[in-house]
């Protein structure tokens, strides 16, 4: 029995049981078999969830880039590592071999060093989906610098907050980006963000759109001339197993974004292991994940997991609708993609379009389809299965989080029978628990509860950068001795899991996690706004959209509501980014509150969902009369265009 490429359900259960009976032995076997270590570990696992502290492979020394690049050179030097597909289909795709990647990562690493970046320094990366993005991650890892990628759709203020939080010494960006018919001035956004940042000494600028942009003397440098001069050799820094690899920010239900810290060895072992198993990756496959590297999915399953397996990984710069809605399928045909991994929101958007966009292309290269980021609804699952998978390719519905680093619940293709809307079974090494609100574990099947993990897995985030207490409070305090995911789930009669959604104030819009508090804070900055509350409501493409209830100050009364709605969305765009814009804004005189002054979002959510028969007991509210007035006005609430 191999831990890899599990062939059937019985074998899955065998491997799973082995991983639970002796997790240390299980992960030790995986770590020994598939990686190069400069020194092996003294102890596989040390942990204490009460602190919480988790250490995997302590004593080991390695560099993740040697595992992702150098060790493939002898056998896969000419194989394509990164296959870059540009936004414009007329621009030629670029195939970067492992040998070429080695050279480019080393040159980039030398440029980082020449600009004063050392092991442990933080480097913020704000780049579009161009090869430099993947290369800059690897260059940081090569020298032990901690990368912190910020999705290039975030606003200058969101970028600035993240740069300041991790005290980045450098920002890597580009002169702009292409997205469909649009170009975006990324460097301008960086300049604005840096007005309030004191730690950044250098900005490296990649050329992508060839626009003439201002460069700040002494701070900004064009990347390419530096790369051209740099040596192609750069020795990999010796990293300890638990040395930080990267920080990636994710939204919390309250407060500022959380800088989740991932460390080196455990993250590498787990993402590589899950990549190979969940996608059934074979040597000549071409794998494509459509996510942006600005999110965890891109870190783990465009860059590190695939490259650690010597895979060919596609990086797509553009959007699914450009030049038309057939772009994804055109790329699958063109590059003979074997594994295709995307988000339910993209599937729903494409399912609305004419089927000809799919049928026009030869998708016979596909072997495995994947989804991630939010629960997939039954209709979207069937559309994907029927039209893309032609009813013959397994769909892996993978549940996981920025915090988990790698996939946690997913079918194994050809082994786990799939079931629409179910992420199915925990992957080897993942020990789940469903909890009731009193803190008791719910045993047995056909139950639902709050989803927790009761034993460490190698790629779990180790802390929140600069705030370990918040890490403990957010993930390890709701239930003693367990990691709490923030999601609800049900377990069916055979033990399959279905994720039912967030149980906190995080709303997933088009697969992006958005905390309500930062959006409310942004809205409240509008001079006419007194108070606001955000909830999610179902949306047929985005999954959820945002519904805002806004109380105006006296100064705002009498103003044109449509203008106000636009201004509110403008403020949100400036503070967070366009992904957090509200679809509906209802102006109201009050918000339902408990006697202690807490906004009762449960009621607001029901109103936004139009579930008016079932509001529950409102009599204990401080201001029960406000509920009816909100309902009355709801009927006239308008969409923001
Ligand atoms: C949700 C993305 C249902 C979930 C990798 C989780 C999902 C949050 C699924 C993490 C899925 C992700 N089915 N829900 N297959 N995958 N989620 O941090 O609520 O961007 O907690 O990580 O997305 O989102 P994040």
113-169 pLDDT per residue, tens: 999 999 999 999 999 999 999 999 999 999 999 999 999 999 999 999 999 999 999
Provide the CB-side half-sphere exposure for 356 (13 A, CA).
2
Would you say 327 and 320 are in contact if contact means Cβ atoms under 8 Å apart?
yes
Q: Compute the distance between CA of residue 508 and CA of residue 519 in angstroms, rounded to an integer.
A: 13
- Look at residue 124 in the predicted model and tell me its pLDDT: 98
Closest ligand 1 atom to the C-alpha of 486? 21
pLDDT at 321: 96
Pocket probe mutation, ligand 1, options 409, 513, 514, 543, max atoms within 8 Å of Cβ: 513
Among 33-47, 416-430, 536-550, 610-624, which is the least confidently predicted range?
610-624
* Residue 283 pLDDT > 60: yes
Residue 355 structure tokens: 């089927």
**End-to-end alpha carbon distance in the chain:** 57
Give distance in angstroms: CA of 274 to centre of ligand 1. Answer: 16
The two three-digit tokens of residue 381, written as one number: 């699952």
Vertex 18: Cα angle to 15 and 20 (nearest 5): 115
Q: Is 252 in the pocket of ligand 1 (CB under 6 A)?
A: no
Looking at the CA of residue 407, tell me the nearest atom of ligand 1. 5
User: Cβ of 501: how many Cβ atoms within 10 Å?
Assistant: 16
- Any bridge partners for residue 395, and if so which? 369
Please work out whether the CB of residue 375 comes within 6 Å of at least one atom of ligand 1: yes
* Per-residue pLDDT at 638: 60
| Secondary structure (DSSP) of 232-253 | S--PPPPEETTSEEEEEEE--S
Among 49-58, 138-147, 553-562, 632-641, where is mean pLDDT lowest? 632-641
Q: What's the average model confidence in pLDDT over 325-350?
A: 97
Give the chain's mean pLDDT: 95
* pLDDT exceeds cutoff 90 at 259: yes
% of the chain beyond a pLDDT of 90: 89
For residue 626, pLDDT over 70 is answered with: yes
Q: What is the pLDDT of residue 480?
A: 95
Neighbours of 578 (CB within 10 A): 12
pLDDT in tens, 410-464: 999 999 999 999 999 999 999 999 999 999 999 999 999 999 999 999 999 999 9
Q: Ligand 1 within 6 A of 422 CB?
A: no
- In this structure, the strands spanning 512-515 and 506-509 are antiparallel
Confidence at 38, pLDDT banded by 50, 70, 90:
very high
425, 497 Cβ separation under 8 angstroms: yes
Query: Phi/psi at 289 (nearest 5 deg)?
Result: -110, 125
Q: How many CB atoms lie within 10 A of CB 519?
A: 25
- pLDDT category at 636 given cuts 50, 70, 90 is low
**274 and 406 in contact (C-beta within 8 Å)?**
yes
Please confirm whether the linkage preceding 580 is cis (ω < 30° from 0).
no
Mean pLDDT throughout 309-318? Answer: 98
**Side-chain half-sphere CA neighbours of 368 within 13 A:** 28
How confident is the model over 572-599, as a mean pLDDT? 90
Residue 641 scores a pLDDT above 70: no
- The CA radius of gyration of the chain, in Å to the nearest whole number, is 24
pLDDT band at 554 (very low <50, low <70, confident <90, very high): confident
Q: Which of 238-247, 481-490, 609-618 has the lowest mean pLDDT?
A: 609-618
Helix axes 156-166, 561-575, angle to 10 degrees: 30
Helix or strand (DSSP H, E) at 586 = strand 584-587
For residues 110 and 148, give the distance between their C-alpha atoms in angstroms, rounded to a whole number: 19
Q: Whose CA is nearest to atom 12 of ligand 1?
A: 373
Q: How confident is the model at residue 632 (pLDDT cuts 50, 70, 90)?
A: confident
Cα dihedral: 126, 128, 129, 130 (round 10) = -100
Q: What pLDDT is recorded for position 282? A: 97
User: Ligand 1 pocket, 285 CB below 6 A?
Assistant: no
Helices 9-21 and 23-34 cross at an angle (nearest 10°) of: 110
Q: How confident is the model at residue 1 (pLDDT cuts 50, 70, 90)?
A: low
398 CB near ligand 1 (under 6 Å): yes
Residue 639 pLDDT level (bands cut at 50, 70, 90): low
Q: Which residue of 278, 376, 489, 508 sits with most ligand 1 atoms within 8 Å of its CB, as the best mutation to test the pocket? A: 508
397 CB less than 6 Å from ligand 1? Answer: yes
Average pLDDT (104-118) is: 98
Query: How large a percentage of the chain has pLDDT more than 70?
Result: 99
pLDDT of res. 598: 80
Question: Which of ligand 1's atoms lies nearest the C-alpha of 506?
Answer: 19
| 3-class secondary structure, 107 | helix
Using a 6 Å cutoff on CB, does residue 189 contact ligand 1? no
pLDDT at 599 (0 to 100) = 86
Looking from the CA of residue 398, the nearest atom of ligand 1 is: 15
- Asked whether the predicted pLDDT for residue 300 surpasses 60, the reply is yes
426 alpha carbon to ligand 1 midpoint, in Å?
A: 14
Contact by Cβ (8 Å): 509, 542: yes
Q: Assess contact for 360 and 328: CB atoms under 8 A.
A: no
Nearest to 295 by CA among 197, 449, 401, 392: 401
Is the CB–ligand 1 distance for residue 373 below 6 Å? yes
Q: Which residue's C-alpha comes closest to atom 7 of ligand 1? A: 374
What is the rounded distance in angstroms from the CA atom of residue 557 to the CA atom of residue 570?
Answer: 19
Mean pLDDT in residue range 62-72: 98
pLDDT higher than threshold 70 for residue 289: yes
- Residue 517: per-residue pLDDT: 85
Measured CA to CA, the distance from residue 63 to residue 68 in angstroms comes to: 9
pLDDT given at position 256: 85
- Give per-residue pLDDT as tens, 373-400: 999 999 999 999 999 999 999 999 999 9
Confidence of residue 319 (pLDDT cuts 50, 70, 90): very high
The alpha carbon of 577 and the centre of ligand 1 are apart by a number of angstroms equal to: 20
The Cα–Cα gap between 521 and 535 comes to 14
Instruction: Give the model's pLDDT for residue 621.
Output: 84
State the pLDDT at residue 640.
Answer: 66
**CB neighbours of residue 476 within 10 Å:** 18
| Structure token digits, residue 112 | 């980082």
Q: 463-474 burial by CB neighbour count: b if 16+ within 10 A, else e?
A: bbbebeebbbeb
Q: 213 with 175: CB under 8 angstroms?
A: yes
Q: What strands lie across the sheet with 432-435, from one edge to the other?
A: 432-435, 447-453, 483-491, 497-502
């Amino acid at each position: 029995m191999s831990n890899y490429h599990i062939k059937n359900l019985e074998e899955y259960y065998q491997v799973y049981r082995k991983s639970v009976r002796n997790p240390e032995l299980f992960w030790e076997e995986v770590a020994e078999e598939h990686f190069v270590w400069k020194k092996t570990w003294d102890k596989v696992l040390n942990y204490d969830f009460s602190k919480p502290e988790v250490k995997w492979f302590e004593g080991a020394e390695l560099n993740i880039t040697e595992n992702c690049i150098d060790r493939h050179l002898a056998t896969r030097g000419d194989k394509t590592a990164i296959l870059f597909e540009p936004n414009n289909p007329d621009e030629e795709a670029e195939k970067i071999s492992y040998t070429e990647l080695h050279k480019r990562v080393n040159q980039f690493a030398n440029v980082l060093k020449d600009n004063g970046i050392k092991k442990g320094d933080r480097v913020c990366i704000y780049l579009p989906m161009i090869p430099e993005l993947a290369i800059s991650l690897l260059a940081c890892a090569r020298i032990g610098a901690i990368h912190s990628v910020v999705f290039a759709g975030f606003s200058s203020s969101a970028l600035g907050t993240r740069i300041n939080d991790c005290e980045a010494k450098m920002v890597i960006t580009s002169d702009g980006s292409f997205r469909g018919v649009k170009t975006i001035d990324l460097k301008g956004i960086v300049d604005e963000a840096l007005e309030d940042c004191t730690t950044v000494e250098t900005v490296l600028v990649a050329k992508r759109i060839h626009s003439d942009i201002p460069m700040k003397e002494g701070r900004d440098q064009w990347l390419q001339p530096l790369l051209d001069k740099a040596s192609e050799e750069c020795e990999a820094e010796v990293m300890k197993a638990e040395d930080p690899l990267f920080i990636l920010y994710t939204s919390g239900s309250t407060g500022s974004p959380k800088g989740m810290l991932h460390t080196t060895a455990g993250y590498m072992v787990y993402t590589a292991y899950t990549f190979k198993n969940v996608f059934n990756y074979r040597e000549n496959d071409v794998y494509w994940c459509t996510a942006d590297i600005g999110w965890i999915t891109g870190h783990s399953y465009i860059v590190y997991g695939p490259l650690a397996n010597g895979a060919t990984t596609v990086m797509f710069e553009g959007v699914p609708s450009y030049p038309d809605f057939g772009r994804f399928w055109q790329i699958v045909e063109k590059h003979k993609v074997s594994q295709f991994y995307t988000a339910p929101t993209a599937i729903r958007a494409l399912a609305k379009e004419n089927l000809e966009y799919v049928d026009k292309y030869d998708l016979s290269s596909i072997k495995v389809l994947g989804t991630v980021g939010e629960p997939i609804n039954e209709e979207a699952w069937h559309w994907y299965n029927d039209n893309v998978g032609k009813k013959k390719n397994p769909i892996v519905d993978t549940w996981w989080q920025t915090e988990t680093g790698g996939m946690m619940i997913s079918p194994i293709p050809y082994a786990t029978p799939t079931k629409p809307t179910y992420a199915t079974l925990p992957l080897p090494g993942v020990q789940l628990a469903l909890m009731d609100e009193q803190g008791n574990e719910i045993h047995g099947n056909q139950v639902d509860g709050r989803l927790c993990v009761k034993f460490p897995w190698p790629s779990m985030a180790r802390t929140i950068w600069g705030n370990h207490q918040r890490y403990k409070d957010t993930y390890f305090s709701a239930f003693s001795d367990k990691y709490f995911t923030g999601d609800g789930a049900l377990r069916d009669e055979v033990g399959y899991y279905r994720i039912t959604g967030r149980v906190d104030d995080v709303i997933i819009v088009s697969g992006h996690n958005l905390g309500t508090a930062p959006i409310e804070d942004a809205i409240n900055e509008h001079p006419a706004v007194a108070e606001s509350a955000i909830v999610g409501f179902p949306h047929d493409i985005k999954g959820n959209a945002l519904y805002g209830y806004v109380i105006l100050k006296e100064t705002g009364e009498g103003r044109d509501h449509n203008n106000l709605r636009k201004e509110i969305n403008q403020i949100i765009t400036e503070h967070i980014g366009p992904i957090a814009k509200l679809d509906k804004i209802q102006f109201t005189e009050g918000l339902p509150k408990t006697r202690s002054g807490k906004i009762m979002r449960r009621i607001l959510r029901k109103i936004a969902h139009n579930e008016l028969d079932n509001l529950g007991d409102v009599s204990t509210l401080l201001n029960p009369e406000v509920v009816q007035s909100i309902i009355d006005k709801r009927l006239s609430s308008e969409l923001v265009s």
